[in-house]
Structure 1
Amino acid sequence: MNPPAVTIAPDEPAQIRARLDALGLNGIFDVHTHFLPTRMLDKVWAYFDAVGPFTGRPWPIAYRHSEEERLRVLRGLGVRRFSALTYPHKAGMAAWLNEWGAEFAADKPDCLHSATFFPEPGAGDYVREAIEAGARIFKAHVQVGDYDPGSPLLDPVWEELSQSRTPLVIHAGHGPAPGRFTGPAGIEALLQRYPDLVLIVAHMGLPDYGRFLDMVEKYDGVHLDTTMAFTAFTEESAPFPAAELPRLGALGDRVLFGSDFPNIPYPYLEAVDAVLGLGLGDQWARGVLHDNAARLFGSWRSLDL
């Protein structure tokens, strides 16, 4: 049985538009959204519906629509730039997902060409090929993939990403449930070896917010994304420490907005309001919702935002 449906206000796009207008923004740059091959997305949704061990609580999918409808809804919410993050859970999937990602982004100029990898022979080769084909962002999921970021099989991948300075969204924190290789220690060790990596730590690294903020301070390529952080859903189990808010404010140019659309158990508006509700100022909010990502992805700065 599916979890209860999420109630979404019919005027949600207008409410988000009002918030953006107040900030002087034309739209949102969302670095953490998921578009997947249909059969893979169906399995992901079935996992959430079954309250899998990585979630441990009811997790209704707020935007359970067809691909065409999800694109329409996301754009209608004011999202002008977004990603299509895929991630494999076993060897032999990543190259195929990269082909799918390239095809998906080819006719969608508002979508970052997204790619992924897995610790397996040849990973460095297909990562290089994806970059050469135009990939702008990669995704790694240490928890789902159940792999050590320090695996020698990934050394060629880190070399390619480090040299090209291609941003990587990496889910490496212990939340929502720890894995064998999750946590800040593995990323700290990785950055000691590859200090030029451009990492976007998903979910602010929850629940180890402070340790990941330390990495942002130490390495200029480390960023955080706000995906699910600060919302009531997450604050119940992994509250962001109030004592860290001043530091978060000071590091605001390295914080990017992420939503996890469509797989969130609450309206998109709540993710936007969670960021605004921190009270860190309009300039900080403008950076998080759009400007920081636009700067990170360089040539996108000249577009209509």
Structure 2
Amino acid sequence: MRDADVAAWVRGLGLPGLVDLHVHFLPDEVQRKVWAYFDKAALNYGTEWPIQYRLPEAERVEVLRSLGVVAFAPLVYPHKPGMAEWLGDWVRDFAERTPGAVPTATVYPEPSVVSYLDAGLRAGVRCVKAHVQVGAYDPRSPLLEPAWGMLADAGVPVVVHCGHGPLRGDHTGLDVFAEVLARHPRLTAVLAHAGMPEISAALDLVAAYPNVHIDTTMVGVGFSLRMAPLPADWLDRLAAHPDRVALGTDFPSIPYPYAEQLSAIAAWAEDPRLGPDFLRAVLHDTPARLLRLPSL
């Protein structure tokens, strides 16, 4: 499948469009720094990472529309104290002026987290991003305990990058975030990248907690399979919890076309235990439920 084929393919599935739970839009100066980091991926990660959609903001939004994306969660994330609040303000302004974008927020272990997260929830935030690897923080921090509780009570999903990929951090690992879930078992958590490379451990958490999901971001595509192959029982595990898998892509900073992620998901759906219902759930129904979208 090519990007040009995607919108018609989605319509052929009987869907109103795609709902992407894991997309990034950032202030221009932050976005440039993120791309500059990926430009050094050969040094940082040991592999080249050519940005597929290095475009101005308005053009990136148009690309999503051309692909048939009708709703998406623009995720932001801080790497130091003092960033999370203003990033949240920025992304909610972005959502107000961008059709299809839902309001989001982010968190960081700092004394003000309760205040700005509460303000975000009152403002209608529908998704929160927690990036343990980039933020280099311990998700078990006492400063974050009330934030996890607030999100659990609100039922607002938190997309958590807690796996070791692409680089192991001081506090990454599914075993670390499992301690957060043990204290907040009602938390609606979406394990970004299906917890890569600890995919089996992520699926164990899906099985253990009814509100834990995985997203498909970079999962099963050629670029990632070299570093994080799918477990042998991948399709078995998906069939056990077909309503706990949500579309995510990491657009725009992916090193391959958007359609490649969709092709991977479609290949999983060829298994007779999954099929078209699973495909429609991943691409639309499950992320739409998580984001509490009105009927599209």
TM-score range relative to shorter protein: over 0.9
Shift of 1:152: 0.6
Asked whether the equivalents of residues 27 and 290 of structure 1 are also in contact (C-alpha less than 8 Å), the reply is yes
Shift of 1:287: 0.4
Q: Which amino acid aligns with 2:130?
A: A
Q: Distance in 1 between matches of 2:226 and 2:187?
A: 32
Query: Structure 1: 5+ residue runs without aligned partners?
Result: 1-8
Aligned to 2:136: 146
Shift of 1:156: 1.7
Aligned to 2:27: 37
Shift of 1:50: 1.3
Q: Distance in 1 between matches of 2:3 and 2:216?
A: 20
Q: Which amino acid aligns with 1:12?
A: D
Aligned match of 2:64 in 63, 71, 74?
Answer: 74
Matches within 5 A, 1:175-190: 175-190=165-180
Aligned to 1:5: none
Q: Which amino acid aligns with 1:157?
A: A
Shift of 1:172: 0.3
Q: Distance in 2 between matches of 1:53 and 1:113?
A: 34
Aligned match of 1:89 in 53, 59, 79?
Answer: 79
Matches within 5 A, 1:2-151: 12-13=3-4, 15-51=5-41, 55-151=45-141
Matches within 5 A, 1:224-235: 224-235=214-225
Asked whether the equivalents of residues 132 and 171 of structure 2 are also in contact (C-alpha less than 8 Å), the reply is yes
Q: Distance in 1 between matches of 2:39 and 2:25?
A: 18
Aligned to 1:297: 291
**Match of 2:19, SS?**
strand
The C-alpha deviation readout for 1:164-223, integer Å capped at 9, x for no partner, is 111100100111111111111111110110111110110000111111111111111101
Q: Distance in 1 between matches of 2:277 and 2:64?
A: 24
Q: TM-score, normalised by structure 2?
A: 0.95
Asked whether the equivalents of residues 54 and 176 of structure 1 are also in contact (C-alpha less than 8 Å), the reply is no
Shift of 1:124: 1.1
Asked whether the equivalents of residues 192 and 216 of structure 2 are also in contact (C-alpha less than 8 Å), the reply is yes
Deviation beyond 6 Å, 4+ runs, structure 1: none
Asked whether the equivalents of residues 42 and 49 of structure 2 are also in contact (C-alpha less than 8 Å), the reply is no
Shift of 1:17: 2.3
Asked whether the equivalents of residues 245 and 282 of structure 2 are also in contact (C-alpha less than 8 Å), the reply is yes
Query: Structure 2: 5+ residue runs without aligned partners?
Result: none
Aligned match of 1:172 in 162, 167, 179?
Answer: 162
Aligned match of 1:285 in 274, 279, 289?
Answer: 279
The C-alpha deviation readout for 1:282-304, integer Å capped at 9, x for no partner, is 11111000011112223x142x2
Q: Distance in 1 between matches of 2:37 and 2:215?
A: 24
> Could you tell which deviates more after superposition, 212-221 or 89-98?
212-221
Q: TM-score, normalised by structure 1?
A: 0.92
Aligned match of 1:207 in 173, 197, 209?
Answer: 197
**Residues 95 and 136 of structure 1: CA distance in aligned 2, closer, same or farther (over 3 Å):** same
Q: Which amino acid aligns with 2:41?
A: V
Q: Distance in 2 between matches of 1:206 and 1:248?
A: 15
Q: Distance in 1 between matches of 2:11 and 2:69?
A: 13
**Residues 277 and 54 of structure 1: CA distance in aligned 2, closer, same or farther (over 3 Å):** farther
Q: Distance in 1 between matches of 2:100 and 2:44?
A: 31
The percent identity for this pair of structures is: 47
The C-alpha deviation readout for 1:105-128, integer Å capped at 9, x for no partner, is 112241110110110112111101
1:198 aligns with 2:188: yes
Q: Distance in 2 between matches of 1:55 and 1:22?
A: 38
Aligned to 2:209: 219
Q: Distance in 1 between matches of 2:196 and 2:113?
A: 28
Q: Which amino acid aligns with 1:291?
A: D
Q: Which amino acid aligns with 2:244?
A: R
Q: Distance in 1 between matches of 2:52 and 2:267?
A: 21
Asked whether the equivalents of residues 222 and 254 of structure 1 are also in contact (C-alpha less than 8 Å), the reply is yes
